């Protein structure tokens, strides 16, 4: 007998909020959110709080050049 699993998916999901901002102000805000490895620069870490701040800076840049909520942007990172 197979079991059906129902997954609730929101109509709109802001991955930036889900992965960063939702942790700011909680006990997890200073936990490591990401480990960054670079062949030339070495390894670095960033906390949820720091990542949220950087995400807000990128958002402010996009808003500053005229993008609006729900506009789509392709970001290419090396």
Q: Render pLDDT for 1-44 as a digit per residue (tens, 0 to 9).
A: 788 988 887 788 777 788 888 899 999 999 999 998 888 889 99
Picking from 6-10, 26-30, 50-54, 57-61, which range would have the lowest pLDDT averaged per residue? 6-10
pLDDT over 70 (residue 78): no
Q: What is the pLDDT of residue 32?
A: 94
Q: What is the pLDDT of residue 8?
A: 83
DSSP string across the chain? ----------SS--HHHHHTGGGTTSTTTTSEEEEEEETTTEEEEEEHHHHHHHHHHHHHHHHHTT--TT--------
- Total-model pTM: 0.70
């Amino acid at each position: 007998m197979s079991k059906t699993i129902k997954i609730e998916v929101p109509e709109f999901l802001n991955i930036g909020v889900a992965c960063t901002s939702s942790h700011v102000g909680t006990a997890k805000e200073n936990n490591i959110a990401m480990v960054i490895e670079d062949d030339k620069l070495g390894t670095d870490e960033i906390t949820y709080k720091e990542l949220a701040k950087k995400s807000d800076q990128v958002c402010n840049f996009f808003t500053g050049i005229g993008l609006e909520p729900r506009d789509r942007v392709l970001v290419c990172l090396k």
